[in-house]
C-alpha cells in the first residue's frame, strides 16, 4: 500500500478551544520530557509508563513543559507496597512512604530547573496516599518543580496535563487488592489510559490508581472524607469494589454492601464526580473454594441502572471464562498469564463509548499554521517505510499500536525530511508527530 495520509488529530496550540459532549480532553504535556533532579537527569518518571517500577528518590525535581497553558493538573504516583493508602483497612497491613510534604514551584525564566525566579504554586502537607493530582495556576510559566525537605519515598511517575480549558479527562481507579495488584502488574502491554489514547488520540486520560488490599465497602464509606480529600478533584471514579464484601460466596452482607455502594455513589455525585461500577471479578472456584454470589452482581447492575451510571467492565463474566488468568489463590489476577493486562483492556473497552461520543471541534489548519509559525508535517507510508516531510522544527515521532502501546519512538533534529523503516508487526497504528507548540496524529496501516 502506497498512500499519503492527512492528519486527523488536533494541534495543541488551538486545542484549548475544543469542546466535548461527554469528556473534555486535558493534553498530557510532560511525556518524554527530561526531569532535572537533584540526583541528575531522569527520563523514566516522565515516560508515561505506569507499569515500569523504576523509581526516583530525588527531593528536587523540575520539568519544563513550555509556556502556553494557564493551568495544569499535575499528578504523581509513588510505589510503597502498591496500596493507595496504608491505614484505610484493618484487614491487611500496608507499608510505604508517600510523597508527603512538598512544595510545587513555577518559573517563567529558569534555564536549568534551578536558576531563575520561582514562585510557590501550591504546598502539599501530610499527604498519606500514593497517587494524587493537584491543580496549579501556570499562566506565563514554563517550568514546575517539586521540592521537599524530607524523604519522598519512591516516585514512579509525574505527569502534567493542560487544564486551561477545564479538561475533565481525570480518573481515580478505586478498588480492592484486585486493582492494587492487577492495575500495577508489570506484565502488561499497556494501561487503560494509554489504550484510550491509542484509540482516541485527542485524549490523554489522567489515571490515578487507588487499589487497597483487603478493603471492603464499609471501610471505604468510613474513609469517604479521605477519598474525597485526596481524589475528589477528578471527574470520574472507576470503582472495583465487592470481592471482600462477597467473600465466601454467601449473601449475608448483601444489604450492607448495597447501602454502602449507594452512599459512595451519592457522595461522588454530590461532589461533581461520575462513578462507574465494575462487576466483581469471578474467582477460580476450583482453587478459591467459593464463587461470588450472583446477588452481588445483580446489585451492581441495579445500582448502575437506578443511578443512571455508565456501565463498567464485566470482570465477572470475563474471568469466569478465563480462569487461567486468575492466580493460584483463585481470587487475584495473575500477572504471568496477563490477568492485569486484561483488566486494563476491559476498563478501556467499557470507557471507550464515552470517548467515542465526545465531540472535539477540529481547528482550521490555516489558522494553526499562523499561530505556530510552521507547517504541519506530511506523512507518506509504503508498507513499513515511513516518510515524513514538511518538518521545520525538531520533532518526536511515536508509533503507537491500536491497543495504545508505544512501539517505537524517533527523535528528529534539524531535518526537513526523514525516512525510516518501522520494525513493528503488520497492523493498524497511530503515528504521532510532536514538536514544541503542537502535535498531529495519523492513523495508518503498516504492512
142-177: per-residue pLDDT in tens? 999 999 999 998 899 999 999 999 999 999 999 999
Burial 425-442 (b: 16+ CB within 10 A, else e): eeeebbbbbbbebbbbbb
List the CATH number of the domain containing 174. 3.40.50.1110
Residues 388 and 349 in one domain: no
| Mean pLDDT value of segment 191-198 | 93
C-beta neighbour count of 299 within 10 angstroms:
23
Residues 250 and 143 in one domain: yes
Residues 187 and 277 in one domain: yes
Gap between the Cα atoms of 383 and 406, Å rounded: 19
Gap between the Cα atoms of 292 and 228, Å rounded: 29
Q: 361 lies in a domain?
A: no
Residue 385 confidence (pLDDT)? 86
Residues 401 and 329 in one domain: no
Domain-ending residue, one of 356, 379, 402: 356
Give the total number of structural domains in the chain: 2
Q: 101 lies in a domain?
A: yes
Domain-ending residue, one of 356, 387, 403: 356
Contact 281, 316 (CB under 8 A): yes
User: Angle, to 10 degrees, between the axis of helix 192-199 and the axis of helix 339-356?
Assistant: 40
Gap between the Cα atoms of 84 and 32, Å rounded: 25
Does the pLDDT of residue 322 top 90, yes or no?
A: yes
Q: 404 lies in a domain?
A: yes
Domain-ending residue, one of 356, 385, 412: 356
Residues 205 and 333 in one domain: yes
- What mean pLDDT is reported for the chain? 86
Does the pLDDT of residue 369 top 50, yes or no?
A: no
List the CATH number of the domain containing 390. 2.60.40.3080
User: Angle, to 10 degrees, between the axis of helix 254-270 and the axis of helix 224-231?
Assistant: 40
Residue 17 confidence (pLDDT)? 30
By three-state DSSP, how is residue 328 classified? coil
Q: 72 lies in a domain?
A: yes
Residue 229 confidence (pLDDT)? 96
Residues 286 and 386 in one domain: no
Residues 264 and 180 in one domain: yes
Where is pLDDT greater, at 135 or 13?
135
Q: 362 lies in a domain?
A: no
Banded model confidence at residue 373, pLDDT cuts 50, 70, 90: very low
Residues 137 and 167 in one domain: yes
Residue 376 confidence (pLDDT)? 63
Q: Which domain holds residue 385?
A: 2-9+367-446
Q: Cα separations (Å) of 156 from 94, 264, 372?
A: 18, 29, 33
Residues 352 and 381 in one domain: no
Residue 311 confidence (pLDDT)? 95
Residue 15 confidence (pLDDT)? 30
Residues 47 and 144 in one domain: yes
Residues 152 and 27 in one domain: yes
Residues 277 and 404 in one domain: no
Amino acid at each position: 500500500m502506497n498512500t499519503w495520509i492527512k492528519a486527523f488529530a488536533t494541534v495543541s496550540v488551538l486545542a484549548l478551544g475544543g469542546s466535548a459532549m461527554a469528556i473534555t480532553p486535558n493534553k498530557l504535556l510532560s511525556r518524554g520530557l527530561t526531569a532535572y533532579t537533584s540526583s541528575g537527569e531522569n527520563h523514566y518518571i516522565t515516560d508515561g509508563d505506569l507499569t515500569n517500577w523504576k523509581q526516583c528518590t530525588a527531593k528536587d525535581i523540575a520539568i519544563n513543559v513550555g509556556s502556553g497553558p494557564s493551568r495544569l493538573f499535575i499528578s504523581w504516583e509513588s510505589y510503597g507496597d502498591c496500596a493507595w493508602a496504608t491505614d484505610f483497612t484493618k484487614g491487611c497491613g500496608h507499608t510505604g512512604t508517600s510523597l508527603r510534604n512538598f512544595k510545587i514551584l513555577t518559573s517563567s525564566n529558569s534555564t536549568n530547573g534551578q536558576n531563575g525566579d520561582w514562585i510557590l504554586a501550591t504546598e502539599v502537607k501530610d499527604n498519606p496516599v500514593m497517587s494524587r493530582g493537584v491543580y496549579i495556576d501556570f499562566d506565563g510559566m514554563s517550568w514546575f518543580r517539586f521540592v521537599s525537605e524530607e524523604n519522598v519515598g519512591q516516585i514512579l511517575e509525574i505527569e502534567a496535563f493542560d487544564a486551561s480549558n477545564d479538561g475533565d479527562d481525570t480518573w481515580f481507579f478505586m478498588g480492592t487488592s484486585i486493582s492494587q495488584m492487577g492495575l500495577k502488574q508489570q506484565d502488561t502491554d499497556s494501561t487503560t489510559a494509554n489504550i484510550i489514547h491509542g484509540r482516541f488520540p485527542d485524549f490523554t486520560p489522567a489515571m490515578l490508581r487507588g487499589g487497597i488490599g483487603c478493603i471492603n465497602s464499609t471501610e471505604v464509606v468510613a474513609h469517604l472524607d479521605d477519598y474525597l480529600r485526596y481524589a475528589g478533584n477528578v471527574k470520574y471514579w472507576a470503582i472495583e469494589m465487592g470481592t471482600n464484601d462477597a467473600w465466601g460466596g454467601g449473601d449475608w452482607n448483601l444489604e450492607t454492601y448495597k447501602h454502602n455502594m449507594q452512599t459512595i455513589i451519592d457522595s461522588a455525585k454530590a461532589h461533581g464526580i461520575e462513578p462507574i461500577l465494575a462487576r466483581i471479578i469471578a474467582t477460580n472456584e476450583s482453587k478459591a473454594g467459593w464463587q461470588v454470589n450472583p446477588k452481588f452482581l445483580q446489585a451492581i447492575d441495579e445500582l448502575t441502572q437506578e443511578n443512571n451510571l455508565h456501565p463498567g467492565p464485566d470482570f465477572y463474566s470475563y474471568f469466569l471464562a478465563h480462569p487461567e488468568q486468575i492466580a493460584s489463590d483463585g481470587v487475584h489476577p495473575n500477572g504471568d498469564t496477563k490477568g492485569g493486562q486484561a483488566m486494563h483492556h476491559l476498563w478501556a473497552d467499557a470507557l471507550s463509548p464515552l470517548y467515542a461520543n465526545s465531540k472535539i471541534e477540529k481547528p482550521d489548519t490555516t489558522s494553526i499554521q499562523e499561530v505556530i509559525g510552521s507547517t504541519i508535517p506530511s506523512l507518506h507510508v509504503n508498507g513499513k517505510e515511513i516518510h515524513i516531510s514538511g518538518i521545520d522544527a525538531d520533532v518526536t515521532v511515536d508509533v503507537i499500536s491500536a491497543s495504545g502501546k508505544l512501539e517505537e519512538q524517533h527523535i528528529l533534529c534539524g531535518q526537513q525530511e526523514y525516512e525510516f523503516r518501522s520494525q513493528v508487526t503488520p497492523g493498524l497504528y497511530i503515528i504521532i508527530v510532536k514538536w514544541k507548540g503542537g502535535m498531529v496524529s495519523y492513523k495508518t496501516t503498516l504492512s
